[in-house]
Amino acid sequence: MAKQDAPTATGHLTLISSKDSAGGDAATLSATVQHNSGTVTLGDVSATSRPMDVLIDVTSVFDGDTAITIGDDSNNSRLMSASYVDLSETTVFQTNPSYVYNNAIDANNTIKVYVTTSSGSTGTANIRVSYS
């Protein structure tokens, strides 16, 4: 938009939004994990982000004592604890956490999947975390 009598002048314009402010921090983080994956980083979320939908889709059953949790380094089961998941079933497990990441430091807002086992030898799952 430009002033009609001075089309190259932009001093009268007011910035309403920019690409950074127009797009919200909303996305879906995903990964495929196996019985021996250990800790898998899904990604960073910005301050004030809230994970809305957390899914573990077990596509191949896990054996042994394998457990999967989803969270962050401060609380590795903040978004989904092992008690919500039966890895001996091929099905989808879902939580809708109410936690909001308020820290401005991205390192504190890194969502991870933690796969732990001492005797597991098989199993695969797709992980998805949607946030806004």
Looking at domain 25-131, its CATH class is: mainly beta
Instruction: Identify the pLDDT of residue 10.
Output: 55
Vertex 116 angle, CA 111 and 120, to 5°: 140
Helix (H, G, I), strand (E, B) or coil at 84: helix
Answer yes or no: is pLDDT of 18 > 60.
no
3-class state of residue 82 by DSSP: helix
pTM above 0.85, yes or no: no
Within 8 A by CB and 6+ apart from 49, the residues are 25, 100, 101, 109, 131, 132
